[in-house]
Amino acid sequence: MAATRTLRIGLIPGDGIGREVIPAGRRVLEALPLSTKLQFTFVDLDAGFDTFKRTGTALPDKTVETLNKECDGALFGAVSSPTVKTAGYSSPIVALRKRLSLYANVRPVKTVAAARSPVDLVIVRENTEDLYVKEERTMETAHGRVAEAIKRISERASLNIARVAGDLALRRQRVRDTGAPSIHKRPLVTITHKSNVLSQTDGLFREAARKALADAKFQAVSVEEQIVDSMVYKLFRQPADYDVIVAPNLYGDILSDGAAALVGSLGLVPSANVGDGFAIGEPCHGSAPDIEGRGIANPIATLRSAALMLEFLGEEEAAAKIYAAVDANLVEGRLLSPDMGGTATTEAVVEDVLKRL
């Protein structure tokens, strides 16, 4: 008989509706059936703009140390960012990705089985470099100010992210081989870049990704390429053509947020920040100050992010139970939050999913 596994999960609500949806993620983890042989302990941690205003830092060292030394994974809510330059402030989730070496951002975009136009793809975004190294400067010139930003692409990070994409393509095929409904027949990775213009940076990303996916381990995976502007067009015109899309940080960010439109709402789209042996589940929506405190935030992205975190912690069976309960809620369509055209509260949606578990 398999031993019970206990996972310690850090809970980082952040700002805005993060404080409403992260408790929902905790509840769904606590409600997993005993048959999964999982138990959970939780630790509440601080990060975000409100934390910055209160303490002078958006990401306290204690939060990073606790995650690094005590936790198996975490759930991160949302962050409000200042609209004007604020001395000393920088994004805590970007900093967490770097300090915990969470080099992959994984964002599934999937409709339920009954959808009229099915979508089932994953965008794998490199998480630590590109323009997000945030090395910028502004210079005074004879013709006015000129601003520059560094775009950094490394072979190592590009190899790593391509391997994550290849592994995901194989994992998704294993699920399909069990007879699970799918619009795909074979594993496919699409490398997205702009090497026709950025021949050194994106050229290195393309070259390294091709090299990683040429490994014998990925011989069953088909590999193709798309220039990023063409990728945007085709993603919205023919999303069913794509299985796993891998991209540098900036392109992956834009593609994954835009792809949420294919399934109706950012409130449905999960993500995971993944490193070697650690994962942070993070809903793709923002802090949504316009609905904060009204009890109508869509919790589905957070529930799916909790499941995605479990996948990367090796608990695919438990993750599948959450996915099934969430999909059943969406298929029935009786209790949907306002962003989905319904009137259900956050609490009502969570309670419905818990019942289905």
The residue type at 350: V
The rounded percent of the chain whose pLDDT value lies above 90 is: 75
What would the pLDDT profile of 259-301 be if each residue is shown by its tens digit? Answer: 988 887 888 999 999 998 899 999 988 899 999 999 999 999 9
Q: Extract the tokens encoding 339.
A: 């962003």
- Residue of 80, 75, 72 whose CA lies nearest to 54: 80
Distance, in Å, from the CA atom of 12 to the CA atom of 277, rounded to the nearest integer, reads 19
Query: CB burial class (10 A; 0-12, 13-18, 19+) of residue 313?
Result: buried
Could you give the domains of the chain? 5-119+263-356 (3.40.718.10)
**Closest among 173, 163, 357 to 274, alpha carbons compared:** 163
Per-residue confidence (pLDDT) for residue 34, from 0 to 100 = 67
The closest of 185, 210, 184, 181 to 195, measured between CA atoms, is 210
- What would the mean pLDDT of 136-148 be, rounded to a whole number? 95
Q: Residue 63 and residue 47: Cα distance in Å, rounded?
A: 7
Residue 302 CB neighbour total at 10 angstroms: 32
- How far apart, in whole angstroms, are the C-alpha atoms of residue 248 and residue 253? 9
- DSSP assignment string, 4-26: PEEEEEEEEEESTTHHHHHHHHH
- Show the tokens assigned to 207: 């070259």
In the block, residue with structure tokens 């302990």: 41
Residue 178 in this model has a pLDDT that exceeds 60: yes
Residues in contact with 127: Cβ distance below 8 Å, sequence separation at least 6, in sequence order = 97, 102, 103, 104, 105, 161, 249, 273
Specify which residues 243 forms β-bridges with.
none
Can you give the pLDDT at residue 99? 92
For residue 126, give the 3-state DSSP assignment.
Answer: strand
- How far apart CA 37 and CA 152 sit, in angstroms, is 43
Q: Give 2's pLDDT tier (boundaries 50, 70, 90).
A: low
Measuring CA to CA, how many Å separate 272 from each of 116, 306, 339?
27, 9, 22
Residue 310 has what pLDDT?
94
DSSP 277: S
Q: What is the pLDDT of residue 143?
A: 94
pLDDT of 226 reads: 97
- Note whether 283 and 301 are within 8 A (CB): yes
Give the residue-averaged pLDDT of 26-40. 87
pLDDT at 308 over 60: yes
Predicted model pTM: 0.89
DSSP string, 36-63: G-EEEEEEE---SHHHHHHHS-SS-HHH
Tell me how far apart the alpha carbons of residues 173 and 58 are, in angstroms, rounded to a whole number.
40
- At 1 the pLDDT is 55
- H-helix or E-strand spanning residue 209: helix 201-213
**214 band by pLDDT with thresholds 50, 70 and 90:** very high
